[in-house]
């Protein structure tokens, strides 16, 4: 499996499509041969960073089991520009499948996120010491409406906290499909049971070995010439397969075109 595909590259930046199952970067002072950062070093050599080559060129990240678009800084000029202006100059959109159907077809989740004191891997809503986090969402399609099985949702981020979409959607009550960290197994079992009760499905037809979340679009003003760069990465095969199954088990309520903008 290739760790990433290149959508655009020049002497300052690269836009890449990261595969699911690839860690964005390893830990400092540890041998790292299979992270995205290591694969980037193999292709581009040493890339700029504030904290060592183990995160060279990386100004943002994706969770290991989230696929999709990242912008990589190849020059110090690009790295400084993106690091200092990321929130205002880089715009990101994701598409994911969630359990159930949100009560509102669109909205914004403004809830601070902090570390979970009970698990080093998890984050949680923390109104006392958490960092501000804002996620905008829009339901694209309702899948299996009668059985309330799932929804296809588009997300836009104002902030980039660890696990932000996953934490916010779990907080809203509609966790990302297949998210083993934030979606209790009972929620998955209930959704699958409703679908099997209402529709004829093969065993394992609704299983996915990762969270169904993909970074589909990324746009920025180029750090050198300030021209507008836009990248798009269609849903990968595994999520498309699950989506195909969900679309075919019942009548679909089309809320909007999955390829449109928020």
Both structure tokens of 16: 């890449």
- What residues does 219 pair with on adjacent strands? 91, 230
Q: Please write the tens of the pLDDT for every residue from 16-73.
A: 999 999 999 876 656 667 899 999 999 999 999 987 667 889 999 999 999 999 999 9
What's phi and psi for 183, nearest 5 deg? -110, 110
Which of 152, 162, 196 has the alpha carbon at shortest distance from 25?
162
Which DSSP string corresponds to 1-15? --SEEEEEE-SSEEE
In this prediction, residue 1 carries a pLDDT of: 64
Higher pLDDT, 259 or 14: 14
| Range of lowest pLDDT (79-88, 132-141, 192-201, 230-239) | 192-201
Q: State pLDDT tens for residues 189-230.
A: 988 888 888 777 877 889 999 999 999 999 999 999 889 999
* The CATH number, out of the four listed (3.30.2350.10, 1.10.10.10, 3.30.70.20, 3.20.20.10), of the domain defined by the range 4-254: 3.30.2350.10
pLDDT score, position 149: 83
**In the chain, what are the domain boundaries?**
4-254
Residue 212: CB partners within 8 Å, gap ≥ 6? 96, 97, 176, 177, 178, 239, 242
User: What pLDDT does 191 receive?
Assistant: 87
Q: Which residue do the tokens 């979340």 mark?
A: 213
Q: What is the pLDDT of residues 249-261, one digit of tens each?
A: 755 444 444 544 3
Residue % of the chain over a pLDDT of 70: 90
Active site residues: 63
């Amino acid at each position: 499996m290739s760790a990433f595909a290149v959508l655009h590259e020049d002497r300052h930046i690269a836009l890449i499509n990261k595969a699911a199952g690839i860690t964005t970067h390893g830990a400092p002072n540890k041998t790292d041969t299979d992270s995205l950062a290591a694969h980037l070093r193999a292709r581009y050599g040493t890339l700029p960073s504030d904290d060592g080559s183990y995160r060279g060129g990386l100004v943002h990240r994706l969770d290991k089991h989230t696929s999709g678009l990242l912008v990589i800084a190849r020059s110090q000029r690009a790295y400084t520009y993106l690091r200092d202006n990321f929130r205002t100059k880089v715009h990101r959109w994701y598409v994911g499948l969630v359990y159930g159907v949100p009560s509102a077809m669109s909205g914004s989740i403004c809830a601070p996120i902090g570390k979970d004191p009970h698990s080093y891997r998890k984050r949680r809503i923390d109104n006392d010491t958490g960092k501000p986090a804002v996620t905008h969402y829009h339901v694209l399609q309702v899948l299996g409406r009668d059985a309330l099985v799932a929804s296809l949702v588009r997300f836009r981020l104002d902030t980039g906290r660890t696990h932000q979409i996953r934490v916010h959607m779990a907080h809203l009550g509609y966790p990302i499909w297949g998210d083993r960290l934030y979606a209790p197994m009972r929620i998955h079992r209930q959704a699958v049971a409703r679908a099997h009760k209402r529709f004829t499905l093969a065993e394992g037809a609704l299983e996915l070995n990762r969270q169904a979340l993909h970074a589909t679009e990324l746009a920025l003003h180029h750090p050198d010439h300030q021209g507008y760069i836009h990248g798009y990465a269609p849903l990968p095969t595994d999520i498309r397969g699950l989506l195909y199954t969900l679309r075919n088990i019942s009548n679909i309520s089309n809320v909007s075109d999955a390829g449109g903008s928020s």
